[in-house]
Structure 1
Amino acid sequence: MADRRGNSEGGGADLHVELSGPGGPREQLMRALREAIVSGRLAAGTRLPPYRGLARDLGVALNTVGAAYAELVAEGWLTARQGSGTRVARRTDPLPSGTGPRRSAPPARRPVYDLMPSSPDAAAFPRAAWLAAGRRALTAAPNAAFGVGDPRGRVELRECLTGYLARARGVRTAPHRIVVCAGFAHALRLLAAVLPGPVAVESYGLGFHRSLLTGAGLATPPLPVDADGAVVAELPGTGASAVLLTPAHQYPTGGPLHPGRRAAVVDWARSTGGLVLEDDYDGEFRYDRQPVGSLQSLDPDRVVHLGSVSKSLSPALRLGWMALPDHLVDEVLAAKGEREMWSSALDQLTLAEFVASGGYDRHLRRMRQVYRRRRDQLVATLAERAPHIRVSGIAAGLHAVLELPPGTEESSLRAASRLGLAVDGLANYRHPDSALPPRDGLVIGYGTPPEHVFTAALDTLCLALPDA
């Protein structure tokens, strides 16, 4: 094969590479880089060009350079860190005298790119606006705010949430029916302490939530999930006294609960005295459809509306809420305790001011545009680079599901790990007692990566996917 040389003009640091000898382009590139490191031409800490630029200059496929870099990272020749690029590894042991790779197992390392679902972009937290709201709230706070906390939550926040939830989500409630909590998990713990019997759950969902319920002694019979959401027609056969649903955007498979099923689950609750727990985990983020109103609006006496700021602002705030039926308020407060021991009164006052001043709405509008742009980039990248992979659940939320060919989920996860990419597999969400056949897929969160590394994260994702 004729020599090919790359100087990466416009693609980062200059790098002279000659591809020659036996093997394909990937083996030739790996051999050339090892030889350059052994000879000392590439010193420890030297930053290599981004693989997009090097691939263009060498006239080889992007996947070829990406795979070569990834394997050399796994072998310990290179390191890759988010924000720092790919560099020649610093070594304390002598380099091998030959040009063969070291085959010892590489040490565990942190992912370079994070595409795990369920988290917002931490860098996008509105620090200046939150600080300004905090100053105003602190200035206006009554002296009582600095005393023993009310377990219901600060009245300022409960009044503010009553108006906001009615306007933005169609929730019908009142300040005395709202209980502030330290996020969704805290709310579920409190409800589990007062529910009388089994709680049906969706056959695909967070195992952590199931564990909270089973830890409280409650069985969690699974409901099948299809393109229209949970199959609530099977509720009577579960013996459940309550059901936990994600009706606005089923987690993780995507899609809203069908209108007919929304009505049917409320009818079930009315006829049996049951309760519906509505996890509205990302109801604010919708892109290609009209907003789906809260299930609670159909019957506030039979549906508990659960929300938090974990997706909209930050999970670090530990602030959430429950809009409860009247008959549950006292029981939940008794389970919570006589004092507020979970959520800071100052954070509650700040959130109330942030919502009342319009800062929360402005932040949501801005982030809706950011996340929609990322969602569109994800879809476009896959359409170009992996058109055989179907993407679903993208009309709302902060994640998408990549449907994989049967039997390829585990190998895709291993490939992603080798490439320094954190992703989740659909199997992790499947209820262990589900009668549905397992589906192969990846659950991709596009909210977590900082803006400047998102393109590189998608490039790496494409390298991990199975071929057509």
Structure 2
Amino acid sequence: MRAAIADGTLPVGSRLPASRVLAAELRVSRGLVTEAYQRLAETGQVAGRGRGGTVVVAAPPAAPAAPAGPAPRGGPIDALRALPCRIDLSPGVPDLTAFPRTAWLQAERRVLAGLTAADFGYGDPQGTPALRGAVAGWLARNRGIRADPGEVVVVAGVAQALGLLAQVLPGAGVRRVAVEDPGSLGARQQLEHGGLDTVGVPVDGAGLDVAALRASGAGAVLLTPAHQFPTGVVLDGERRRELLAWGAAGGLVLEDDYDAEHRYDRAPVPALRALAPESVAYAGSVSKLLAPALRLGWLLVPRRLHEEVVEAKRHADLGNPVLAQLVLARLMDSGELERHLRFVRRRHRRRRDAMLDAVARHLPGARVHGAAAGLHLMVTFDGADFPDTALAADALTLGVKAHPLSWHRISPGPPGLILGYAAGPAAEIEEGVSLLGRALRTRIRDQRR
């Protein structure tokens, strides 16, 4: 019946057969038909009209048509991103409606007015001196990192930074990289696509387990110490000291500082790069601050890897587009980017609070992780025995996107969801979590049968 409603065989407004009649036609019990109607009502697809019977009131989102070209590459995240939905609670996206269009346009006009004809030629593959200087200043002010502009390599986001590192690390004798478990599936895929082997290292309430890292035999480790993805844990002081000692003994730390600027209920956490520049490769971007579409980020590596990384960047794309670099540099130097950060931080905090309230109301028993900072929450359903992929699929049939936690796990663990709250208004967050609650109740009832 769901399929018939979805494909229009039972259009919105049509009346379903009486339960007694359908039961006789299908030769099943009337109770079974009644239960089916009840489930359709719980998902908002039908409604009782008294003597008017049961009527179709909404169709679920139609499955997307098969693409004309190849299937989406990159795994489940890319596939999910391509699907239509009404409410997108996927993690990793800021409030794109807040992009500072006026400030960007004004900065672009000023930049264009000052360019010479020669400035439109090929740029420095390492990045324009203006942006490298601006990034150095930004990192000093916001992340406590003291870096010379010559150390900065401008990249097309953290994804490219990881891809470049995957190219140069084998030359430094590193072919196995430890990753956080749970940790970003996308980041792990970047390293593996570059030919590196990855091994999971557990994350607990204090962050990455450094003892397990030592036992893994990895020559490098990728981690998110300021706001671990997806748990939100901060790497604590003792673990930091242990990790830096591991780095000083020859290990390489790959620090993904993906959303450290977004914090609400705690003080900023210093970047590891600020403490040990010769054993930490540091990557960041404006994807969570302005917009992923800009594809602008930065990479700082130990001196022994710098020339190889610049050479890999040269062969990758000859450098990022110059105009966008110069506009971003102007926003950073003028203080406009800090003003934008203050504005979106207030907005994101309100949306975070709205999601916390909605989770408390609609997902009773769910445990919330990582609420003090970032752009997402992780919720776990401790003790539940259903697959979180099934819950996410149920939510998608109701028009809501969310990441199942298991996508980002290597080892098994409790089911959960990763819910982004930055991209949509509070009313949309409330509705989305309410629909998740509906899917959860149905899933739990089905598991008990």
Give TM-score scaled by structure 2 length: 0.79
Cα shift at 1:217: 2.4
What is aligned with 1:306?
Answer: 283
- Name the residue aligned to 2:180: 202
1:78 aligns with 2:53: no
1:117 maps to a residue whose letter is: P
1:37 and 2:13 matched: yes
For residues 123 and 457 of structure 1, the distance between their equivalents in structure 2, rounded to whole angstroms, comes to: 19
- Aligned equivalents of 1:35, 1:393: Cα separation in 2: 43
Cα displacement (A) at 1:291 = 0.6
* Residue 26 (structure 2) aligns with: none
Cross-structure match for 2:254: 277
Partner residue in 1 for 2:105? 131
2:272 corresponds to = 295
- RMSD, aligned α-carbons: 2.6
CA offset digits 1:117-175 (Å, max 9, x no partner): 11112222111111111112222335443111101100000001111101101112110
CA 1:146–1:460 in 2, change beyond 3 Å: closer, same or farther? Answer: same
Contact 2:132–2:153 (CA under 8 A) maintained in structure 1: yes
Q: Is the 8 A contact 2:354 2:426 kept in 1?
A: no
Q: Match for 2:227 among 212, 236, 249?
A: 249
Structure 1 partner of 2:400: 421
Residues 188, 463 of structure 1: CA spacing in aligned structure 2 closer, same or farther, 3 A cutoff?
same
Report how many residues are paired.
Answer: 379
Aligned equivalent of 2:84: 110
Q: What is the DSSP-based 3-state SS (H/G/I as helix, E as strand, rest coil) of the residue aligned with 1:163?
A: helix
Counterpart residue number, 2:376: 399
Deviation at 1:384, TM superposition (A): 2.8
Q: Match for 1:232 among 199, 210, 214?
A: 210
Matched, 1:464 2:439: yes
Query: Which of 391, 402, 405 is equivalent to 1:412?
Result: 391
Map 1:55-454; keep pairs closer than 5 Å.
Answer: 67-70=42-45, 78-79=58-59, 110-195=84-169, 196-197=173-174, 198-271=176-249, 273-337=250-314, 341-405=318-382, 406-408=384-386, 409-431=388-410, 434=411, 437-450=412-425, 453-454=428-429
1:413 is aligned with what amino acid? A
Call closer, same or farther: CA 1:217–1:71 in 2, change over 3 Å: farther
2:73 aligns to what?
A: none
Shift, 1:80, TM fit: 6.8
More divergent stretch after superposition (63-72 vs 209-218) = 63-72
Structure 1 stretches of 4+ moved >6 Å: 63-66
Question: Matches of residues 7-46 of structure 1 in structure 2 within 5 Å?
Answer: 37-38=13-14
Structure with the larger helix share: 2
1:445 positional shift: 0.6
The answer on whether the counterparts of 1:80 and 1:112 sit within 8 Å (CA) in structure 2 is no
Contact 2:355 2:429 in 1 (8 A): no
CA drift of 1:203 comes to 1.4
Work out the CA distance in 2 between the residues paired with 1:161 and 1:139: 22
1:395 offset after TM fit, Å?
0.8
Query: Does the C-alpha gap of structure 1 residues 135 and 264 become closer, same or farther in structure 2, counting only changes over 3 Å?
Result: same
Matched residue of 2:182: which SS? coil
Whole-angstrom CA distance in 2 between matches of 1:38 and 1:275? 63
Partner of 1:193, secondary structure, is helix
How far has the Cα of 1:209 moved from its partner?
2.1
Shift of 1:456: 2.3
Give secondary structure in 1 for the equivalent of 2:265.
Answer: coil
Mark the CA change 1:117 to 1:339 in structure 2 (over 3 Å): closer, same or farther.
closer
| Amino acid in structure 2 at the alignment position of 1:78 | A
Q: Under a length normalisation based on structure 1, what TM-score does the superposition of the two structures give? A: 0.76
Query: Once the 2 structures are TM-superposed, how far is the Cα of residue 463 of structure 1 from its aligned partner?
Result: 2.0
Partners of 1:123 and 1:450 within 8 A in 2: no
Deviation at 1:76, TM superposition (A): 7.4
Question: Contact 1:402–1:441 at 8 Å: present in 2 too?
Answer: yes
Q: How far 1:68 moved relative to its partner?
A: 4.9
Select between 210-219 and 224-233 the one with higher mean Cα deviation: 210-219
Bigger shift: 161-170 or 445-454? 445-454
Report how far residue 65 of structure 1 moved.
10
Q: What is the letter of the counterpart of residue 408 of structure 2?
A: Y
Cα deviation, residue 208, structure 1: 2.6
Q: Is the 8 A contact 1:148 1:340 kept in 2?
A: no
Counterpart secondary structure, 1:220: strand
Unaligned runs of 5+ in 2: 1-9, 16-37, 48-54, 62-81
Q: CA deviation at 1:448?
A: 2.3
- Structure 2 distance, partners of 1:252, 1:455, is 21
- Contact 1:229 1:250 (C-alpha < 8 Å) held by counterparts: yes
Distance 2:315 2:389 in 1: 48
How far apart, in 2, do the equivalents of 1:402 and 1:216 lie? 31
